[in-house]
Structure 1
Amino acid sequence: MKYALVTGVSSGIGKATAKKFLQEGFYVFGSVRKPQDGEALQQEFADNFHLLVFDIADHEAVDKAFAEIEQVVGDHGLDVLVNNAGVAKYGPIQHVAIEELRQQFEINVFSNVYITQKALPLLGANYTTKKKGKVIVISSTGGVMTRPMLGPYSASKHAIEAIYDALRREMMLYGLDVIIIQPGPIKTDIWGKAKTGVNPYANTDYEKIFDKLDEAVNQIEEIGLDVKEVADRIFKAYSSSKPKSRYIITPKKWMFILAMYIVPPKLLDKIFFKDLNKLNK
């Protein structure tokens, strides 16, 4: 039996990934924040799915969950961690509340890293364990290429890129792989969960832009990949004996590579400003 821990399995990439690893014969620990989400998943996934209910920002609850995991896996440990749980917040940097920005980092960065730190001993981050697991973290193409209004989210993913680059190089001491997944537009509800129903930037120069931002994001997501395809590629990355350090998972991948690494920043500024200006009319 192989063991996988997938965080944030109530929907989207996390749920599809948990399902994929179950189909491949893994025993999957899956975390959700709301008990009602967990009840539905337990019924859907049934055998070999171990529900964990905790808020990833609650470190005491995370500690209890890992004690539960350790009782099940014993000396075998974990074979893979898919660190997926996170939130998306957007808004203009000029006006975004510092508390909103802090919460974005608390969940997407600090809590993410804490879970990885807890998992590393079970994955074989030491000189004595022969079996080595893998760390897979869900970043974003936005961690490299930042669109206007998506600064808070991109900033957190940019931090993830740097932290897991460092971790990957550090884990070479133990022969443990660290893989960064960079999804582009995906058919998921992460942005839907970010909607407040109230425009917090009313009476600012960004009022019209924010009002229309949901529509713009929805248009991008309509051309996105299905989460099942993303999960398939995540499992393929896990299964590779020599995985890449990063996997860009998006339609029209070449366009994202150009924008992320080749197009001069000033030219990208003009392209994004054109889109921003459309929302302001």
Structure 2
Amino acid sequence: MSNPSEHQRRSAVVTGAGGGLGRDIALGLAAKGYIVFGTAMSAEEIQDLKHASGGRVSLAVCDMTKEQVVKAWAGGVSDALGDTGLDLLINNAGILTPGPIEVLPLEAIKREFDVNVFGALSVMNTFLPALRTARGRIVQVSTWTASIPLPFNGPSGASKAAMEVFSAVYRAELKSFGIDVVVAPAGNMKTGGPAKTAAALTHIADAMTPEQRELYGQPFATFADKLNGMQEAGLDSVLAAQRVIELAEEVPAPSIAPVGDDAAEMLRAARQMSDAEQDALRLRIVGLN
């Protein structure tokens, strides 16, 4: 990555910057002098970040599932950056679709991949010319469940695992252009996520048929309690954002680095445990052992 002192202004793009971890990353970068662009879900989020950052964060409502919308937004940002290019792209936007795979509508799983995978790919590809100009860096925010997938959390782990594979391929394909690609698997965090997760868990449970509830009701309720508890006890969002920014600026760039102690522990488990041990671990984590 180019040394920040080489540019009069450093630039960054953060997807999913309207709330939670993305918001704290955007504010942290702005505080360090970056000019920050990003995506949000609403006009209210845009105004909030503009005010909180003193105008250094410029967000736009962008539907990550619509390729042409993503290209139009990213193209506009690239035009605004001009000849200086883009120093940093942090792919943070994502959704969570918990539930038994048998119960989840296939369209819901497809939507998670549309946001977490195909939306992320659209953003990365559109910004590559600007990243090449600045010899910039991409940080893909992931999750430890991409390495130790959990029952009732399949779409999240699978979609983030897909992006970890794409990131490894990008790292190789973009090396000759001076573009670093870092994967940052995050652990549990105290963000706006827990409330959204709790709502999603309740929605899935309420939508189960009597037959599905007979099959999955009790274990899914146990999983929901465990997941809510893990998120509420997670790393403070501001501290997690600081860690992501550290990885964005670390020289040399790490290929993959955890965000949070629990993420580090799970990555070690994925490297060191046998398949049988990992199977037992994933059940124990969600209280189903």
TM-score (norm 1): 0.91
The verdict on how the C-alpha distance between 1:46 and 1:163 changes in structure 2, with shifts beyond 3 A counting, is same
Equivalent residue pairs, number? 274
Shift of 1:192: 2.9
Partner Cα separation in structure 1 for residue 55 and residue 111 of structure 2: 35
| RMSD, matched Cα | 1.9
* AA partner of residue 168 (structure 1): R
Identity %: 25
Partner Cα separation in structure 1 for residue 166 and residue 42 of structure 2: 28
* AA partner of residue 222 (structure 1): E
Partner SS for 2:189: coil
Runs of 4+ with deviation above 6 angstroms: none
Partner Cα separation in structure 1 for residue 55 and residue 230 of structure 2: 36
Q: 1:143-154 maps to which residues of 2 (within 5 A)?
A: 143-154=146-157
What residue number does 2:251 align with?
A: 241
Shift of 1:43: 1.9
The verdict on how the C-alpha distance between 1:274 and 1:25 changes in structure 2, with shifts beyond 3 A counting, is closer
Shift of 1:15: 0.6
Partner SS for 2:89: strand
Q: 1:109-258 maps to which residues of 2 (within 5 A)?
A: 109-124=117-132, 129=133, 131-194=134-197, 195-196=199-200, 197-198=202-203, 199=205, 200-203=207-210, 204=212, 205-252=215-262, 255-258=265-268
CA contact (8 A) 1:90 1:151 kept: yes
One of 256, 259, 280 as aligned partner of 1:270: 280
CA contact (8 A) 1:108 1:157 kept: yes
Partner SS for 1:57: coil
Partner Cα separation in structure 2 for residue 274 and residue 83 of structure 1: 31
* AA partner of residue 235 (structure 1): I
Q: Does 1:11 align with 2:19?
A: yes
Partner SS for 1:180: strand
What residue number does 1:41 align with?
A: 49
* AA partner of residue 180 (structure 2): D
Shift of 1:193: 2.0
Shift of 1:28: 0.4
Partner Cα separation in structure 2 for residue 273 and residue 17 of structure 1: 32
Residue deviations 1:142-198 (CA, integer Å, cap 9, x gap)? 111101111111010110111101000111121210011100111123353242443
Shift of 1:254: 5.2
Shift of 1:276: 5.0
Structure 2, unpaired ranges of 5+: 1-8
Residue deviations 1:63-100 (CA, integer Å, cap 9, x gap)? 22123213321111111000100101111122222111
The verdict on how the C-alpha distance between 1:277 and 1:31 changes in structure 2, with shifts beyond 3 A counting, is closer
Partner Cα separation in structure 2 for residue 277 and residue 70 of structure 1: 47
Shift of 1:278: 4.6
TM-score (norm 2): 0.88
CA contact (8 A) 2:194 2:232 kept: no
The verdict on how the C-alpha distance between 1:20 and 1:269 changes in structure 2, with shifts beyond 3 A counting, is same
Partner Cα separation in structure 1 for residue 254 and residue 282 of structure 2: 30
The verdict on how the C-alpha distance between 1:255 and 1:69 changes in structure 2, with shifts beyond 3 A counting, is closer
CA contact (8 A) 2:148 2:282 kept: no
Structure whose residues are more often helix by fraction: 2
What residue number does 2:108 align with?
A: 100
What residue number does 2:3 align with?
A: none
CA contact (8 A) 1:17 1:234 kept: yes
Partner Cα separation in structure 2 for residue 48 and residue 252 of structure 1: 33
Q: 1:79-94 maps to which residues of 2 (within 5 A)?
A: 79-94=87-102
